[in-house]
């Protein structure tokens, strides 16, 4: 009796630990609208084959985390690093493209598709292709204080053969910058050290991404009925992040127009949710039903796949930053580059005007 009571008390705890690290099994259903015995038989054969072949995609925590981290990196579009010191206002627009690489191999991008053939891989891509930022000199309240408002929104698609992605990005942020050490003129102004700045803020970023994974067509049959099946997948991610960047930055201006800077910092991800859903991107086509004559050849069937993974971005992403650009009068063009520990990279292009 005591053992029975003990089991009853421990059962919820045992179930909790049993579920830890578990994932929803991948399920596949196939439907030929016409119905009939021929279709019923091949539907079951295709579903069984795909359940086996695609099981490796049923749980992808590394892939999900890679895209979550890449979304963090993309939040720094239209940066004004190295261009503080303006008298009144700065307006900038820019782009930012990011990647979480699986390793330090400079040709990693050539291997991602092959690695995905085996299932889960730690990698991700991010982008904010159109970001605006408006900065204001708040010196009338606190000397050497600047505040900027960052915003971006764009829905766009990339279709380059087997490489296909669909992005829907949104970005809102407030950035506060304080100049710890003021600018210093060197060599009669030929070289200008722009001092040392401390910057932080709060950024809300969302990114809905659909990544197309092409897989080779397979032939499924039961000995009599044959079908060509495209098992390709759409990997759809819903990413939401609340990010607090912290940066210390210094920059120089040479010959009154060449700008370059360097800094260190981190992105603290206060909160992130990243949900991956896997959907079919292909169809099944009957090529032979064993009849004489063949009456079902060419019939198409829809494939429905149900699988998903949830994960989170890393809380702390430490980074080193550099930029190089040019300015003529109040107009500047700049290329910011960020290197994250664990093989993360961000490259952007910014242009703006200061008064």
Give 340's strand partners: 319, 344
Token pair belonging to 276: 């991956």
Write out the chain's pLDDT in tens, 355 residues.
444 443 333 333 333 333 333 355 789 999 987 667 778 888 999 999 999 999 999 999 999 999 999 999 999 988 889 888 899 999 999 999 999 998 888 777 777 777 888 899 999 989 998 999 999 999 999 999 999 999 999 898 888 777 788 989 999 999 999 999 999 998 887 999 999 999 999 999 999 999 999 899 999 998 888 999 999 999 999 999 999 999 999 999 999 899 999 999 999 999 999 999 999 999 999 998 776 556 678 889 999 999 999 999 999 999 999 999 999 989 999 999 999 998 999 999 999 999 9
Helices vs strands, H then E, count in the chain: 4, 16
3-state helix, strand, coil in the chain (%, to 5): 15, 55, 25
Give the three-state DSSP class for 122: coil
Give 96's strand partners: 128, 348
Spatial distance between the Cα atoms of 167 and 187, rounded to a whole number of angstroms: 48
Q: What is the DSSP letter of 57?
A: G
CA angle, 243 as apex, 237 and 247 as ends, to 5°?
135
Spatial distance between the Cα atoms of 334 and 193, rounded to a whole number of angstroms: 17
Q: What is the dihedral of CA 125, 128, 129, 131, to 10 degrees?
A: -170
Spatial distance between the Cα atoms of 131 and 25, rounded to a whole number of angstroms: 39
Domain ranges of the chain: 37-354
Token pair belonging to 197: 């700045």
Handedness of CA 122, 125, 131, 135 (dihedral sign): positive
Judging by beta carbons within 10 Å of its beta carbon (0-12, 13-18, 19+), is residue 15 exposed, middle or buried? exposed
């Amino acid at each position: 009796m005591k053992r029975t009571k003990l089991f009853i008390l421990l059962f919820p705890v045992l179930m909790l630990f049993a579920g830890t690290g578990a994932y929803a099994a991948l399920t596949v259903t196939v439907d030929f609208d016409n119905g009939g015995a021929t279709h019923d038989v091949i539907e079951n054969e295709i579903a069984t084959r795909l359940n086996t072949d695609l099981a490796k995609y049923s749980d992808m925590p590394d892939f999900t985390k890679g895209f979550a981290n890449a979304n963090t990196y993309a939040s720094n579009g239209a940066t004004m690093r190295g261009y503080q010191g303006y008298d009144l206002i700065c307006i900038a627009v820019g782009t930012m493209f990011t990647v979480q690489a699986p390793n330090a191999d400079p040709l990693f991008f050539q291997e991602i598709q092959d690695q995905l053939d085996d299932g889960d891989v730690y990698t991700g891509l991010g982008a904010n292709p159109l970001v605006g930022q408006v900065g204001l000199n708040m010196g009338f309240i606190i000397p050497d204080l600047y505040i900027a408002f960052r915003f971006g929104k764009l829905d766009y698609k990339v279709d380059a053969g087997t490489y296909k992605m669909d992005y829907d990005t949104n970005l809102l942020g407030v950035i506060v910058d304080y100049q710890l050490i003021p600018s210093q003129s060197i060599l009669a102004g030929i070289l200008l050290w722009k001092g040392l700045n401390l910057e932080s803020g709060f950024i809300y970023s969302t990114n809905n991404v659909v990544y197309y994974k092409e897989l080779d067509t397979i032939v499924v049959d039961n000995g009599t009925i044959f079908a060509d099946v495209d098992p390709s997948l759409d990997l759809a991610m819903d990413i939401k992040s609340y990010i607090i960047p912290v940066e210390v930055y210094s920059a120089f201006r040479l010959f009154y127009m060449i700008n370059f800077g360097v800094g260190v910092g981190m992105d603290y991800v206060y909160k992130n949710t990243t949900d991956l859903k896997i959907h079919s991107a292909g169809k099944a086509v009957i090529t032979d039903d064993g009849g004489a004559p063949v009456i079902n050849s060419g019939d198409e069937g829809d494939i429905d796949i149900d699988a998903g993974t949830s994960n989170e971005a890393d809380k702390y992403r430490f980074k080193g930053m550099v930029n190089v650009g040019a300015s003529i009068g109040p107009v500047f063009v700049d290329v910011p580059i960020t290197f994250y520990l664990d093989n993360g990279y961000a490259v952007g292009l910014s242009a703006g005007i200061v008064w």
